[in-house]
Structures are given as structure tokens and as C-alpha cells.
């Protein structure tokens, strides 16, 4: 092995060792998603830190622990009102309460024919797809962060939108005119 090759190999080993010993300051992430596509809410967890979860029909409580070596926690927003349509009724509410050692989430979905009252928080409209609506950011002793996102997927309202009704009406009129010409 030549002297230049030995120097390059030593430099590579030194660089790899330095990278492995440096604190990681990147963001790691997990998620907790409430699946409300049926009458029974289910939970999907990628954090691996849920310590308890209880779902009864359309109401869930989930507690999950902070990552090891957490020194600080922040999160937003504390409450989310979920509407079936813009300006429509509230179909779901999500609450997040985080502390130094753990966080608790409450997900409440309406049970027909009851309607949920709005809570102090943000308002969004459900889309029928997974929507991340809140997060908890844990700052670790080494300066890195772990961001856990909290989301839900909910069935969209089965009440047709006004423009869909108008299109259906135009289509039916058109079919009636075609049939009349024959």
C-alpha cells in the first residue's frame, strides 16, 4: 500500500469517526393517525411510544411518552375543529396536551344525529385523506428534535355539494331533451 493510499484511508476513517461521534441535530419524526372512516375509530402509530389508548365507539384517548433524554417540549395547536364542509357543522374535534414526559390526545367524532359544539381552536375542513393537524416537538439533551405529527382521516360528508346537485340537474335535463327529440 502506497503512502498516499494510507493517508487517504486514514482520512476516511477519521471523517467517519467524527461523523459518528457528533451529536445528531436533524429532525426525526413519528405520527399518530386517527382513522375515522367507519363507526369505530382506530389508531395508527409510528412513534412506538404509545403507553395507553382507549377507543370507545367514536371517542379515543391516547397517551404517548416523550423520547428518552427530552429536555423541552412544544406543540401546536391545542385544539382542532374539523368541519364536514366549509362553514358546515363540526364532525370531529381533536385535543392535544403535551408535557415534559408525555402527551395526551383526545379525538371525538360525532355520533349521528348529534352535532359537536365548537371549541377554542383552529377550524379545518375534512378531505377524506390523511390530514396532519397538530404536532408535538420534543427537544433532546443533545440538541436534536423529534417531531411527532398528529393527524386523522375521516369520511367526507355524504351530503352532495350544491354544484354537484346543479350538474346532476343539468345532466337530467339534457337527457330529457334528447329523449324528447327522438
Q: What is the mean pLDDT of residues 3-30?
A: 49
For the stretch 72-83, pLDDT in tens is 999 988 999 999
Q: Quick check: pTM over 0.75?
A: no
106 versus 6: the higher-pLDDT residue is: 106
Residues 6+ apart with CB under 8 A from 80: 93, 94, 121, 122, 123, 124, 133, 134
Report how far Cα 172 is from the mean position of its chain's Cα atoms.
40
Task: Give the pLDDT band of residue 106 (cuts 50, 70, 90).
Answer: very high
Q: Residues 5, 13: contact at Cβ < 8 Å?
A: no
H or E element: which one contains 62? Answer: strand 59-65
Residues 6+ apart with CB under 8 A from 85: 125, 157, 159, 161
- pLDDT of residue 9 exceeding 80, the answer is no
Amino acid at each position: 500500500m502506497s503512502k498516499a493510499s494510507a493517508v487517504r484511508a486514514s482520512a476516511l476513517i477519521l471523517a467517519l469517526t467524527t461523523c459518528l461521534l457528533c451529536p445528531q441535530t436533524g429532525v426525526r419524526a413519528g405520527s399518530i393517525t386517527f382513522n375515522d372512516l367507519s363507526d369505530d375509530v382506530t389508531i395508527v402509530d409510528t412513534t412506538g411510544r404509545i403507553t395507553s389508548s382507549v377507543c370507545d365507539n367514536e371517542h379515543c384517548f391516547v397517551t404517548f411518552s416523550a423520547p428518552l433524554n427530552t429536555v423541552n417540549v412544544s406543540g401546536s395547536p391545542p385544539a382542532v375543529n374539523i368541519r364536514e364542509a366549509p362553514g358546515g357543522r363540526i364532525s370531529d374535534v381533536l385535543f392535544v396536551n403535551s408535557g415534559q414526559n408525555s402527551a395526551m390526545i383526545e379525538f371525538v367524532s360525532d355520533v349521528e344525529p348529534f352535532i359537536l359544539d365548537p371549541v377554542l381552536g383552529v377550524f379545518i375542513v375534512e378531505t377524506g385523506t390523511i390530514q396532519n393537524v397538530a404536532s408535538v416537538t420534543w427537544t433532546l439533551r443533545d440538541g436534536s428534535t423529534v417531531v411527532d405529527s398528529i393527524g386523522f382521516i375521516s369520511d367526507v360528508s355524504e351530503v352532495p355539494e350544491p354544484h354537484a346537485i346543479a350538474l346532476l340537474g343539468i345532466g337530467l335535463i339534457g337527457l330529457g331533451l334528447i329523449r324528447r327529440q327522438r
